[in-house]
Structure 1
Amino acid sequence: VTWLAAWTSQIGQGEVVPRAAASSSWTNEQAIIDVLTRRSSAQRQQIAKSFKAQFGSDLTETLKSELSGKFERLIVALMYPPYRYEAKELHDAMKGLGTKEGVIIEILASRTKNQLQEIMKAYEEDYGSSLEQDIQADTSGYLERILVCLLQGSRDDVTGFVDPGLALQDAQDLYAAGEKICGTDEMKFITILCTRSARHLMRVFEEYEKIANKSIEDSIKSETHGSLEEAMLTIVKCTRNLHCYFAERLHYAMKGAGTLDGTLIRNIVSRSEIDLNLIKGQFKKMYGKTLSSMIMEDTSGDYKNALLSLVGSDP
């Protein structure tokens, strides 16, 4: 809206924008894109705070009333503080009938211990319940166990030291829990994948391939199925290369007929101030085209323009 660009440009200059400026009867989407996609999350929070003080209205609610569709969804996502946004995505994945297990797996398997703690704190503050308890209520079996285990945040590499003997033992235990027997000891896989550091797991994967003559990924695919398989494979992918994992998620969101806009928005917004440039580099290596070129092909209108502004220049 025209008032948003005019008003934002005066932040910090001590000027006052008349309340009537917010009553425009038409919307200038490009002004919204220019202002909100080119600010940091902290700056957007300051904009929202100043807007409330000046106009007595909630900026996010005002934007919702002016916008619609995928463009609205993207802009509203930008207005959430990072951990509150991820808490919202998790809450939305579990509310109502059915559970979007892929969203929960993506977030829990790819965040650090500190990030998970902040997400859990934001979740409880915003929704008045425990994230762990809600996940337990909405999932079951081994999927529930692996998600709850991931929430504990035990995979972070604190010392950087890898015990070669323990790595070999873990690889032997994984082989004994799957390929070596009829059936699968799922809890052994869950325990090792969810409690070992990334550096340690990389060594485990190397030792496992020597023992089993196949990759850990191939064994997981043959020994498990469904959401449990997806969760285990996601942990392995995030361990091997987090940026490749997110590049794959972005490509998955846009390949084929139609676009998975929730996945596209969530990953661009959540990684925009963390490692999006590194993800863009991996995307180009993996798929032979830039992320922005694929966005150009698969999206349109103001939604496309806002995504391109967030993604920025190509690597």
Structure 2
Amino acid sequence: MATVTVPPVLTSPRDDAIHLYRAFKGLGCDTAAVINILGYRNASQRSLIQQEYRAMYSEDLNKRLVSELRGNVERAVVLWMHDPATRDATIVRKALSGDVIDLKAATEVICSRTSTQIQQFKQIYYAIFGVLLESDIEYQASGDHKKLLLAYVHTPRYEGPEVDRLMVGNDAKALFKAGEKKLGTDEKIFIKIFSERSRAHLAAVSHAYHNTTTFDMYQAIKKETSGYFEHGLLTILQCAENPGNYFAKVLHKAMKGLGTNDSTLIRVIVTRAEIDMQYIKAEYRKKYGKTLNDAVHSETSGHYRAFLLSLLGPNH
């Protein structure tokens, strides 16, 4: 469920392109005008605006936005202009090859996406950057974390709701034997089950696991694994059970304490606004007793705040 609010009476993509061009003219950029257009258009509308802008002014709208905007609002708006697969490819590439390597961000994006989404962004990754996603993972990740990511991006997974109850029971037992029951951990079993099984299957395994042992799956993963490997397994499991709850926690953590993790805030709000932000907002309110809009409002300011709030939609 998306949260982006498109006006009931919409100007044409051509008119939007003209208004954007005017916002760029003269001294300084009219950032408010840019946000009032782009923050209230869905993916297909943004794509048409880009086409019109190029046809009319013989320049790339994204490049113009980079040169006109600054700081966090620039990062958020430019990311918003991409289609979802290009966006994921851009985020992961920056996380794996930028000035600061951010394995946590790369792991979050990879392990929270469906098999289909990963196949799409893998193709774009290679087309834009001329390098295989697997090569960047191979170079930057290590140990069991690397094995998990490589298996996860390589393996096609079923995306439907049906599960095989017998297989669910066997997987729950296998994970118990590979973790809690033995001294040390058989990581290979965790990697195999978490990278090959569907979300519905993993959610059922988590339930079955809880019924056969004193721990739940989350506690078992935290007890048996650590670091980025643990983060990857927990992301896969939480997104199998309740992605809205997972992203609500990620956002809360980004805004907790002193300072705000803006790159996390931008990444999650921009990538989920047209997918499941309604659910994330509902989970956030239920979990933390305040609306996500209010939390973002208190942690951000200026045009950056206005843009993020435009993507979050009405405050409820």
> Structure 1 pair 22/101, CA: closer, same or farther in 2 (3 Å)?
closer
Which amino acid is the alignment partner of residue 27 of structure 1?
C
Q: Is the 8 A contact 1:179 1:212 kept in 2?
A: no
Equivalent residue, structure 1, for 2:240: 239
Equivalent residue, structure 2, for 1:84: 86
Equivalent residue, structure 2, for 1:282: 283
- Deviation at 1:15? 11
- Deviation at 1:131? 0.8
* Whole-angstrom CA distance in 2 between matches of 1:166 and 1:59: 51
* Whole-angstrom CA distance in 2 between matches of 1:77 and 1:93: 14
* Whole-angstrom CA distance in 2 between matches of 1:281 and 1:197: 25
Q: How does 1:83-232 map to 2 (within 5 A)?
A: 83-96=85-98, 99-158=101-160, 160-232=161-233
Equivalent residue, structure 1, for 2:257: 256
Q: Is the 8 A contact 2:157 2:197 kept in 1?
A: yes
**Partner-residue secondary structure (3-state), 1:180:** coil
- Indicate which of 75, 78, 83 corresponds to 2:77: 75
- Deviation at 1:69? 0.8
> Structure 1 pair 127/15, CA: closer, same or farther in 2 (3 Å)?
closer
* Whole-angstrom CA distance in 1 between matches of 2:269 and 2:17: 34
- Deviation at 1:11? 3.8
Q: Is the 8 A contact 1:244 1:283 kept in 2?
A: yes
Which amino acid is the alignment partner of residue 79 of structure 2?
A
Residues 133-142 or 33-42, more deviating: 133-142
Deviations 1:247-292, CA, capped at 9 Å, x for gaps: 1111111111111111111111111111111211111111111010
> Structure 1 pair 284/264, CA: closer, same or farther in 2 (3 Å)?
same
Q: Is the 8 A contact 2:23 2:33 kept in 1?
A: no
Residues 88-97 or 302-311, more deviating: 88-97
Equivalent residue, structure 2, for 1:33: 35
**Partner-residue secondary structure (3-state), 1:90:** helix
Which amino acid is the alignment partner of residue 182 of structure 1?
L
> Structure 1 pair 176/280, CA: closer, same or farther in 2 (3 Å)?
same
TM-score by length of 2: 0.90
Which amino acid is the alignment partner of residue 107 of structure 2?
I
Deviations 1:34-60, CA, capped at 9 Å, x for gaps: 011001122112212211221122212
**Partner-residue secondary structure (3-state), 1:109:** helix
Q: Is the 8 A contact 2:245 2:280 kept in 1?
A: yes
- Deviation at 1:150? 1.2
Task: Count how many residue pairs are aligned between Structure 1 and Structure 2.
Answer: 306
- Deviation at 1:132? 1.5
Q: Which runs of 5+ in 1 are unaligned?
A: 1-7
* Whole-angstrom CA distance in 1 between matches of 2:49 and 2:200: 41
* Whole-angstrom CA distance in 2 between matches of 1:165 and 1:59: 53
* Whole-angstrom CA distance in 2 between matches of 1:75 and 1:20: 17
* Whole-angstrom CA distance in 2 between matches of 1:269 and 1:243: 14
* Whole-angstrom CA distance in 1 between matches of 2:17 and 2:207: 62
* Whole-angstrom CA distance in 2 between matches of 1:162 and 1:78: 36
Structure with bigger RCO (C-alpha 8 Å, 6+ apart):
2
* Whole-angstrom CA distance in 2 between matches of 1:11 and 1:179: 58
* Whole-angstrom CA distance in 2 between matches of 1:239 and 1:182: 28
**Partner-residue secondary structure (3-state), 1:24:** coil
Q: Is the 8 A contact 1:268 1:311 kept in 2?
A: yes
> Structure 1 pair 136/30, CA: closer, same or farther in 2 (3 Å)?
same
Equivalent residue, structure 2, for 1:5: none
* Whole-angstrom CA distance in 1 between matches of 2:215 and 2:15: 63
* Whole-angstrom CA distance in 2 between matches of 1:314 and 1:15: 29
Indicate the percent of aligned positions where both proteins have the same amino acid: 37
